[in-house]
């Protein structure tokens, strides 16, 4: 593969001149410029990124560590991040961590070894960092769990905070509140609340938001459901027991799992029971009935993550910042007023986003 030296020789100039021409870092006579460019093109010269990275200390690469690429939400998030990174001139290095703590540590290590300019980390579990909404509460909680050693590289987490690092969130609390308010408005009284797992920050925040809005006197049946469509046996039994008007789910995958269980028992959605999801993955609009859910602003999250990284590259000492992004309720066919005669067939037609509620955009800085 042709090197800069080859180009220099072919053009009859020094390597320094070649570099200057190709990067436009110094004025040259038109004649020389043309000669260099011609030589480079003729040789099919492609600059060696490794070498320039070594020299300049910048690779133009962002690392992304993800818990599980088979999860459609995670895949969509990767798309958002890759898109934003590319727009900012970065390539993206991706590492699946398979929800495994050891692999997460390995991923961070390998990415820093490659000297990526920054890392976007979507942690699998709660990292003990303070959540933006309970800053004041239980400071120091979660210290029991040993922390991962974080590399000295610009790093931003998504959805699970980590101490003294930049982070991007959806407003999960408001998301929970929106779901609760929507169900309340439909006349739902008895609700089952499936939160995925207690060691996931976002799931806890959603639950908190939901319960804050829900009438404290009305009973809520809660259970941990995990985050996939295959529900735990205990949850399935509970669902089949009936006795509720609506199910609020940890995410869309769980919601689909719930709908399958209900359908199998002949329970009609939304006529007998309303179901609401979370995330708004592509799947949500395609199942039948289409899923009412809370949409996470993926593109904005990716953009915010990249923006935070870029900012930190130019100011490594800046205080950690958390960006909270607004979610919106997307009403489709899986929820309907209690006793109302909503036509399911119609409701599942062409993406009937009837009502949208949106939380405020919020951004704040926290000191170190």
Partner DNA sequence: CAACGTTGGTAAAACGTTTAACCACATAGC
Partner DNA sequence: GCTATGTGGTTAAACGTTTTACCAACGTTG
| Residues of the shown chain interacting with its own copies in the complex, contacts defined by CB under 8 A | 1, 44, 46-51, 53-54, 59-61, 69-70, 72, 75-76, 78-79, 82-83, 86, 91-96, 109-115, 151-152, 229, 256-257, 259-260, 263-264, 266, 282-283, 286-288, 345, 348-349
Select the binding partner of residue 20 from DNA, its own copies, none (C-beta < 5 to 8 A, by kind).
DNA
Give 31 or 113: the residue with its C-beta nearer to its own copies.
Answer: 113
Please state, in angstroms and rounded to a whole number, the distance separating the CA atoms of residues 4 and 16.
9
Question: What are the residues whose beta carbons fall under 8 Å from the beta carbon of 35, sequence distance 6 or more?
Answer: 11, 12, 13
| Binder of DNA out of 34, 38, 41, 48 (CB under 7 A) | 48
Contact between 47 and DNA by CB under 7 A: the answer reads yes
Select the binding partner of residue 32 from DNA, its own copies, none (C-beta < 5 to 8 A, by kind).
DNA
Strands 362-365 vs 274-276: parallel, antiparallel or unpaired: unpaired
Select the binding partner of residue 360 from DNA, its own copies, none (C-beta < 5 to 8 A, by kind).
none
Report whether 102 contacts 109 (CB < 8 A).
no
H/E stretch holding 166: strand 166-170
Select the binding partner of residue 136 from DNA, its own copies, none (C-beta < 5 to 8 A, by kind).
none
At residue 85, the 3 state secondary structure works out as: helix
Contact between 314 and DNA by CB under 7 A: the answer reads no
Provide the 10 A C-beta neighbour count for residue 361.
12
Select the binding partner of residue 23 from DNA, its own copies, none (C-beta < 5 to 8 A, by kind).
DNA
- Phi, psi dihedrals of residue 265, rounded to the nearest 5°: -90, 5
Give 25 or 29: the residue with its C-beta nearer to its own copies.
Answer: 25
Continuous H helices in the chain: 4-11, 15-23, 30-43, 49-56, 72-87, 101-113, 172-185, 201-213, 233-241, 252-264, 282-286, 298-314, 344-347
Q: How far is the CB of 82 from its own copies (least distance, A)?
A: 5
Contact between 75 and DNA by CB under 7 A: the answer reads no
Chain positions contacting DNA, by CB under 7 A: 1, 3-5, 13-17, 19-20, 22-23, 25-29, 31-32, 45, 47-48, 51-52, 54-56
């Amino acid at each position: 593969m042709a090197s800069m030296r080859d180009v220099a020789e072919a053009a009859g100039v020094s390597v320094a001149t070649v570099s200057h021409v190709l990067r436009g870092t110094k004025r040259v006579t038109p004649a020389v410029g043309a000669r260099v460019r011609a030589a480079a093109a003729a040789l099919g010269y492609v600059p060696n990124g490794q070498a320039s990275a070594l020299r300049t200390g910048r690779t133009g690469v962002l690392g992304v560590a993800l818990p599980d690429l088979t999860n459609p939400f995670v895949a969509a998030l990767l798309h958002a991040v890759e898109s934003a990174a590319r727009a900012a001139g970065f390539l993206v290095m991706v590492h699946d961590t398979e929800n495994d703590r050891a692999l997460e540590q390995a991923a961070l290590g390998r990415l820093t070894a490659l000297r990526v300019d920054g890392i976007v980390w979507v942690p699998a579990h709660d990292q003990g960092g303070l959540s933006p909404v309970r800053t004041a509460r239980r400071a120091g909680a979660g210290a029991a769990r040993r922390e991962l050693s974080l590399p000295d590289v610009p790093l931003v987490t998504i959805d699970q905070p980590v101490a003294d690092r930049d982070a991007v969130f959806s407003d999960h609390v408001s998301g929970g509140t929106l779901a609760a308010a929507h169900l309340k408005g439909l006349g739902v009284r008895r609700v089952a609340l499936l939160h995925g797992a207690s060691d996931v920050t976002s799931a806890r925040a959603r639950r908190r938001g939901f319960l804050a809005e829900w009438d404290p006197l009305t009973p809520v049946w809660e259970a941990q459901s995990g985050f996939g469509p295959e529900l735990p046996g205990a949850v399935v039994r509970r669902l089949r027991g009936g006795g509720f008007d609506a199910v609020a789910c940890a995410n869309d995958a769980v919601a689909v799992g719930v709908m399958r269980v209900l359908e199998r028992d002949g329970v009609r959605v939304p006529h007998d029971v309303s179901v609401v999801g979370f995330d708004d993955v592509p799947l949500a609009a395609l199942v039948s009935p289409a899923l009412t859910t809370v949409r996470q602003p993926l593109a904005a999250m990716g953009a915010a993550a990249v923006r935070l990284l870029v900012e930190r590259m130019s100011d490594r000492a800046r205080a950690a910042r958390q960006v909270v992004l607004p979610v919106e309720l997307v009403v489709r066919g899986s929820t309907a007023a209690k006793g109302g005669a909503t036509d399911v067939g119609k409701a599942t037609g062409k993406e009937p986003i009837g009502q949208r509620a949106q939380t405020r955009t919020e951004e704040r800085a926290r000191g170190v």
